[in-house]
A and B are shown apart, each in its own frame.
Chain A
């Protein structure tokens, strides 16, 4: 591996300053599961790697009891999310997505922030955060700003982050009552594999437990960046959610997707699976909503 100098700041400000000193010869690194591979393969050749792991607070994971807002620090690892009872019980869509990223060894190191910044079209970590209307806080030389996770991605491997900016945390607003969410990573095998297609669905229903008041249908590997099937979402909104309506939503989502042929699968297969899985994930959302309603 090409030698580099490893810098370990202890505040975000210090990290940004270090980047300012070394500019394009420096790269930030979180868990390292992507950056180290890229340095080893020569796809990236930084003279300075700025380690973000020793900055206190960046691995914060908590829900604010008063506002119901969930904070996920950018340095929270996939394994921390997978093993969190809060995530498993209240945000199953996040659990579904992160528990099969890479392998346990990778999940013990890789972070949710790194997963987003890497900006691969398949980013398992991004889909649930988009479905949950998550926002990313960015800090950089010009100060800080907040960007919706759905707007982070420009094209494969490119985000809206400007040089020197650091993703510090993701916040997720309080979940509406009577909401359910589910994600499926669909592919040949779960572990050590990118998905053929990733589908995340979130539904919120009215007090009648049928009429949809909010729908999110998020697709991974269905275009150059993670995308929302907004026509399908519109179809559901204001309507009683039935299996037939979910079938229609699946068809619309498949039509809206920008799937293509790749080494992992053909476009027609991806479309078919979007059609089938949007319906299945929608039904799973309804199950979750009904289960919760019975518990109240």
Chain B
């Protein structure tokens, strides 16, 4: 069945037509063209599809699109500010070599963001607990944990600094030709 839903995607209010059986992952990648979120296993085992819905990290492959009505969704595309500078977690993954093939990276970063937004001073056990559902097959976990810890330190230090320029994602600037929510015709 087709229905129309409205929600906030990376700071932008959008509404679009969906099918009842679509997952949030399908909506993001196949309909909205936001292919930063990856599909690994499709069964909630690998965490590559992790996005943040109302501050909680969830597997978008198991989350029905119909359930995001009225909610706030953050994807990897919403992290870099529109001036082009990376979010501290993204920058930290670059600086600390937290990336090999890159397929697990968007999910890792979204899991890390859900944690650090709540508790930037999370200790390593807390980081491991929060990232346990994100699998990296290049076995780069040490650098990934280092990346998250370093980002946390930076976010904790800058938390009171209003001029830092990151935090809640601002509106995403789309390029001409990008598919926007309004144009979706399922």
Contacts and interface: CB of A to CB of B under 8 A. Distances in A.
B99 to A, nearest CB: 20
Interface stretch (B30-38, B61-69, B79-87, B148-156): B61-69
Given A51-B67, A192-B45, A103 B132 contact: yes
B9 interface: no
Contacts of A51: 66-67
Nearest to B26: A1
Contact of A4 (B20, B50, B57, B114): B20
Contacts of A99: 129
Contact of B59 (A4, A79, A109, A191): A109
A281 to B, nearest CB: 21
Interface string B56-97: 111100111011000000000000000000000000000000
A40 interface: yes
B130 A104 contact: yes
Given A1-B21, A5-B1, A37 B132 contact: no
A191 B43 contact: no
B67 A104 contact: no
Interface residues on A, range: 20 to 34
A110 to B, nearest CB: 9
B10 interface: no
B149 to A, nearest CB: 17
A79 B129 CA distance: 12
Interface in B113-161: 114, 129-130, 132-135
Nearest to A32: B62
Contacts of A4: 20-21
Contacts of B111: 104-105
A36 to B, nearest CB: 5
Interface residues of B, number: 28
A109 B62 contact: yes
Given A51-B67, A79-B56, A192-B45, A106 B21 contact: no
A77 B63 CA distance: 14
B56 A106 contact: no
Contact of B47 (A6, A8, A49, A103): A103
Nearest to B132: A191
B21 A37 contact: no
A1 B57 CA distance: 23
A41 B114 CA distance: 29
Given A1-B21, A6-B20, A105 B133 contact: yes
A6 B132 contact: no
Interface string A82-112: 0000000000000000010011111011000
A4 B3 CA distance: 13
A39 B63 CA distance: 13
B105 interface: no
Contacts of A190: 132
Given A4-B21, A32-B63, A53-B67, A104 B129 contact: yes
A65 interface: no
A103 B111 CA distance: 11
Interface in B100-119: 111, 114
Interface string B20-54: 11010000000000000000001111010010000
B66 A6 contact: yes
A47 to B, nearest CB: 11
Contacts of B58: 105, 108-109
Contact of B132 (A32, A49, A104): A104
Contacts of B66: 6, 8, 51
A106 B50 CA distance: 10
A3 B63 CA distance: 15
Interface of A: 1-6, 8, 32-33, 36-37, 39-41, 49, 51, 53, 79, 99, 102-106, 108-109, 190-192
Which 5 pairs show the lowest CB-CB distances between chains A and B? A103-B133, A191-B132, A6-B20, A108-B56, A105-B59
8 contacts: A4-B20, A6-B64, A104-B114, A104-B132, A105-B44, A105-B57, A108-B57, A190-B132
